[in-house]
Structure 1
Amino acid sequence: MLSRAEPSPGNVIRQRLLLRKWDFWTAVTIVVYLLLCVFVVYPLVTLFINSFISEEGGFTIENYITFISLKYYRMALLNSFMVSALATLGAILIGVPLAYLSTRYAIKFKGLMQIMIVMSLLSPPFIGAYSWILLMGNNGFITRFIRDLGISVPSIYGMHGIVFVFALQFYPHIFLYVSGALKTIDTSLEEASESLGMTSWQRLRTVTLPLIFPTLSAGALMVFMASFADFGTPMLLGQGFKVLPILAYEQFVSEMGGNPAMASTLSIILILFSTSVLFTQRYFVARKNFSMTGMRTPKLIPLKPLAKTLLTILAFIPACISILPQLTVILTSFIKTKGPVFQSGFSLDSYREVLYRVPRSIIHTYSYSILSIIIMVAGGMLISYILVRRKSKLTAALDGILMIPYVMPGTVLGISLIVAFNKPPVVLTGTWIILVIAYVVRKIPYTIRSSTAILHQLDRSVEEASISLGVPPMKTFFKTTGRLMAPGVISGAILSWITTINELSSTLVLYYGATATISVTIYSEVFTSNYGTGAALASILTLSTLISLLIANKLSGGKGLSV
């Protein structure tokens, strides 16, 4: 009697590999790649090709030659670098000493100070610029007060004002990064240097700063990239001072019909330089990377009452100045106005006008952001699982593509989406769909990073036990892993939500009248000198940000956001 032939070991292995390759997660990987190709790679490739198209439709490098030959364009690039470099330097000069004070000394009210600092970071830069116009513009409250004293002061407009606003807006990046590093530094290294006769300054310069250099450089990179990509602040405060994001926007929406090819060229140059900065930072970190055991973390140095009070006041000075824009817009939103002029007394007229004249902007902001955050949470959790649990060259490339929009200026992302989807077969320009796509593509890295962080902490054995009991991998993820990940995902999700409701640069390029959001309406109100309604709308965004921050703090058990 013939027995059925047993399959060879080689066939068994091949069958198992085939089953492993073509499962639920393989399908997710393919879908994510397809979506990224459509909404990230294709727009970028189209933008790149468009930069070589002449007005007649032929191939040309004239746009790049024009950029190199005209001082107007070269100066815009130089201005972008100068503003970003000076803002980064200013942020370091504020953030590092403040982080050192708060982590090494027992000063008062640290919790309140950190809430103020995070609030100033999460508020959009253009609201900060708008607030400083109210305070130190040509007819600002502080400007008028000082001039009444007979002292002449420059207004906030110009390059110095842009750098000032950026430094105060973005120093929390430095503060949060450096604070985390200083809390985990090994004090035995500092004690060893002290025993060798080093002064406090020498110890700080030769031991402490090199140890935190990778973290400090990461924070500095965040500040530089945010300053380099920002559109709203230079547009509001520049008054003729041009940076590259402004030129790209103006070339694209010029009243004379615009020059999409030149706008594409400027966008490609923006991407190239921002990417170059990213790789430069990584190169220096790789060369100067120090490690430590972290066995002995620093203890707070007790202070005498007078010293504690003085250091607390010193620490709160930058925190109070940086939160001033939020307080300003809230206060001015209740001041009576007559057109662009503020009058004595308080009223709710600005809020009434907002609810009567632009209620759809408020509805659009929250509806688009809610839809975006649902997609970001669902997509972010699935993508993070692929990146952490299904590591391969394919997923490593996926991680790289996902981070491209993270380093792209919002203006560039908006232009690339319009260039890609303004003609058949897929026309999305002028619809709310293109805004949601831009928000998801630009903000999902926050959710992915928080999801991967929590997933690294989860033991595989929980999933393996579920699968061994016969539960399919997809069902295991949704019933077990996803639920365990949920608390950790909240931090990144709320950060994505906050940055989405405050998004200006990509929205300004992509919206049209029927899809305007709060941020775009604030921008329009400021340019038409309707400061009261602009302040009321900015207050709504500030309140939304504060509520979101408090919810995140509550859900994370008092740990707040991982910014």
Structure 2
Amino acid sequence: MKTKANRDIWSVMKIVILVFVALAILYPLSTIVIRSVTTEAGEVTGKNFLKFFTKPYYLDVLSNTMFVAGVTTLFSVVLGVGMAYALTRYDIRIKRILNICIILSLMSPPFIGAYSWILLFGRSGFVTTKALEWFGWVLPTIYGKWGIVSVFVCKMFPYVYLFTSGALGSIDSSLEEAAENLGSTKGYRLFHVTLPLVSPSILAGAVMVFMSAVSDFGTPMLIGENYKVLSTLVYEQYMSEMGTSSNFASAVSMIVIALCLILLLLQRWYLRRRNYNMTSLRPPQPIRLSVGKKILLLLPVLAVVVFSLLPQIVVIVTSFKNCNGPYFVAGWGLESYRTIFTRMIRGIKNTYFFSLIALVMMVMIGSITAYLSVRKRSALTTAVDLSLMVPYVIPGAVMGLALIIAFNRSPFFWAGTAFIMILCYTVRKIPYTVRSASCFLQQMELCVEEASINLGVSPARTFFKITLPLMLPGVVSGAILSWIETINELSSSVLLYTGKTITMSVAIYNEVARNSFGTAAAMATILTISAIIMLIVFNHVSKGKVSIV
């Protein structure tokens, strides 16, 4: 009877999660696939893809996307690996503070960085005007492809840094010592022993950077001007003033999805060709440096950290600057905050309300999915687990478009409602919760649960009374990261929102677009402070057992 009850309760859980995945992920994505190969009249056609690959304008957009994502990935890898090597291999006292600062630079959306660079290096930016006024210098424009790349690198190199620093701190130092004993130089050991050993981690960070650069919408929309990329093309095709083209937008979305999937397959192919297994019993010890060498090492490291934190610093400072329309004027005050709390309070309320409801759904679905994938492993649970990861690697604009197309007709007429916003946030950000909870669950002994069931406690009661409290640190840690990502989400929100469902990220984007920099800075500061608070909570709850990415 106990075995049957155990099987029944978890069979029901599997069905519930499967229904959620089918309705919230597979069904919307299937509509994208169908729309991409059909006309407005519903006839099967390949004209949408033919249009994309035969018109020079769209091929230029594809080329622009690959250029921005490729160059961003290259610079992020060089910067991230260099920073990781410096901070893990050398004894630096402020290493922990620098690590926190780098993580903080990762906790704000890229479009806030774009907004900050506009304030500093835009046509009327502070640095631009002062350089011309004091020295007669005309600085290069921040707008266009190199501006996008600059913002992306400052925002995204922490992905590579965090993955690589974790790997560098746990490799077997005896391998490097063996190379040294064989007469190899330090440079040779670095490029032929150390970096190849951590190449899976470097590659994982590079893949995240590439996909983030492909999917980001706010940065190229704010500072790209006439430099179009695929994410902005999807938005423009669907929101075109000349009439929407959801079928062609769906075809473009499929091309974006294909790019991301090809990259993931290449990553798996590369890793399968080699064996990276090793023991971590003798991790490398930090090298002590003389004062002079330590200063030489710290100067470029501090420069990178300060430069990456500059967007948050600029946002917070300018939020207290007095404004006259689109211009900052002399004096300081709280006028921008008064404005947002009187005129834009709906966006603030919606952001926290939507994110909290989504958080509850992520915790419930994520914890059950993690349990099923670890404790009740089968082909079905593995498929469900992988399906929940799909929205993570799909650009937000594509997921937003899929939800609009799928739920803009009977029987699910949810487009324009708060529910579709919450649903999108849930499916887009739940992977953090699932991965973190699974990590903790894999470290727990199964005998504790078996003992509870053998003593007559039902499987459901065992899960909620024994298992869930034990895996709670992992669930909470992942949920906090999911919440931070949710309040910063723009690429899907900008497609899904209405006047009643506007969020802070969309409001910031709209304010920057209309040159209302003071109110944009005030709302961005609220988002930044929210992320900092939750990051502190994350560090306290996880106690270093869960990675930030």
What TM-score does the superposition give when structure 2 sets the normalisation length?
0.98
8 Å CA contact 1:214, 1:289 repeated in 2: no
Query: Contact (CA 8 Å) 1:128, 1:169: kept in 2 or not?
Result: yes
Q: Which residue of 2 aligns with 1:83?
A: 68
Mapped contact 1:108–1:312 kept (Cα < 8 A)? no
Alignment of 1:47-86 (within 5 A): 47-86=32-71
Q: For 2:40 and 2:410, how far apart are their aligned partners in 1? A: 20
1:130 is matched with: 115
Instruction: Determine if contact 2:434/2:478 at 8 Å carries over to the other structure.
Output: yes
Cα deviation digits, residues 77-117 of structure 1 (max 9, x gap): 11111111110111111111110111110113111111110
Pick from 513, 519, 530 the counterpart of residue 516 of structure 2.
Answer: 530
Alignment correspondent of 1:9: none
The Cα offsets for residues 294-321 of structure 1, whole Å up to 9 and x where unpaired, read as: 2211111111222223322222111110
Among 430, 435, 439, the residue aligned to 1:449: 435
C-alpha distance after superposition, 1:159-214 (max 9, x if no partner):
00111111110100111100000100111110110111111111011100110011
Superposed displacement of residue 556, structure 1: 2.7
What is the aligned counterpart of 1:321 among 307, 310, 313? 307
1:118 aligns with 2:99: no
Q: Does 1:292 align with 2:261?
A: no
Identify the residue that residue 144 of structure 1 maps to in structure 2: 129
Written as runs of structure 1 = structure 2, the 5 A alignment for 1:229-248 is 229-248=215-234
> Per-residue CA shift, 1:225-276, capped at 9, x if unaligned?
1111111111111011011111111000111221111111111111111111
Residues 440-471 of structure 1, C-alpha deviations (whole Å, 9 max, x = no match): 00000000000000000000010000000010
User: Does the 8 Å contact 2:217/2:231 carry over to 1?
Assistant: yes
Aligned partner letter, 2:432: Y
User: Which residue of structure 2 lines up, in the alignment, with residue 405 of structure 1?
Assistant: 391
Instruction: Provide the rounded CA distance (Å) in 2 between the counterparts of 1:560 and 1:165.
Output: 27
Q: What is aligned with 1:212?
A: 198
Measured after TM superposition, the shift of residue 20 of structure 1 is 7.1
Aligned residues: 548
Residue 542 of structure 1 and its aligned partner are, at CA, apart by 0.6
Matches within 5 A, 1:338-417: 338-417=324-403
- Deviation readout 1:337-388 (Å, 9 max, x if unpaired): 0000111111111111111110010000000000111111111110000000
Aligned to 1:198: 184
Give the letter for the 1:489 counterpart: V
CA distance in 1, matches of 2:138, 2:267: 41
Q: Distance in 2 between matches of 1:63 and 1:227?
A: 24
Q: Which amino acid aligns with 2:159?
A: H
Q: Is the 8 A contact 2:474 2:546 kept in 1?
A: no
Residue of structure 2 equivalent to 1:10? none
Per-residue CA deviations over 1:382-413 (Å, capped at 9, x if unaligned) read 00000000111111111221111111100000
* Paired position in structure 2 for 1:186: 172
Alignment of 1:263 onto 2:263: no
CA distance in 2, matches of 1:554, 1:291: 31
Q: How much has 1:559 moved relative to structure 2?
A: 6.2
Report the Cα offset of residue 561 of structure 1. 5.1
Paired residue for 2:31, among 27, 46, 49?
46
Residues 5, 459 of structure 2: 8 Å contact kept: no
How far apart, CA to CA, are the structure 2 residues paired with 1:366 and 1:392? 37
User: Is residue 549–residue 560 contact of structure 1 (8 Å, CA) maintained in 2?
Assistant: no
Comparing 118-127 and 488-497, the one that deviates more: 488-497
Does residue 108 (structure 1) correspond to residue 88 (structure 2)? The answer is: no
- Aligned AA (2:155): Q
Partners of 1:103 and 1:355 in 2: how far apart?
44
Alpha-carbon shift at residue 21 of structure 1 (Å) = 7.9
How far apart are the structure 1 equivalents of 2:275 and 2:211?
22
Could you say what secondary structure the match of 1:383 adopts? helix
Separation of aligned partners in 2, 1:231 and 1:462: 47
Aligned to 1:4: none
- Aligned residue identity for 1:538: A
- Partner residue in 1 for 2:213: 227
Given that 2:6 and 2:459 are in contact with CA atoms closer than 8 Å, whether structure 1 keeps it comes out as: no
Q: Which runs of 5+ in 1 are unaligned?
A: 1-14
- Cα shift at 1:528: 0.5
Question: What residue in structure 1 maps to residue 419 of structure 2?
Answer: 433
CA drift at 1:289 = 3.3
How far did 1:58 drift?
2.3
- Indicate the SS of the match to 2:329: strand
**Could you tell me the percent identity over the aligned residues?**
47
- Corresponding position of 1:94: 79
Query: The residue matched to 1:513 in structure 2 has which SS?
Result: coil
Q: 1:513 aligns with which of 499, 517, 522?
A: 499
Tell me how far apart the structure 2 counterparts of residues 325 and 509 of structure 1 sit (CA, whole Å): 25
The 3 A distance-change label for structure 1 pair 251 and 286 is: same
Q: Which amino acid aligns with 2:361?
A: I
| TM-aligned CA deviation for residue 288 of structure 1 | 2.9
Whole-angstrom CA distance in 1 between matches of 2:498 and 2:331: 36
Q: Is the 8 A contact 1:335 1:343 kept in 2?
A: yes
1:100 aligned partner, one-letter code: Y
Q: In 2, distance between residues paired with 1:231 and 1:265?
A: 18
**SS of the residue 2:137 aligns to:** coil
Q: Which amino acid aligns with 1:61?
A: G
Q: Supply the AA of the counterpart residue of 2:446.
A: R
Larger of the two Rg values belongs to structure: 1
Quickly say closer, same or farther: Cα 1:558–1:457, change in 2 above 3 A.
closer
Cα displacement string for residues 413-453 of structure 1 (whole angstroms, at most 9, x for unaligned residues): 00000100101111000100000000000000000000000
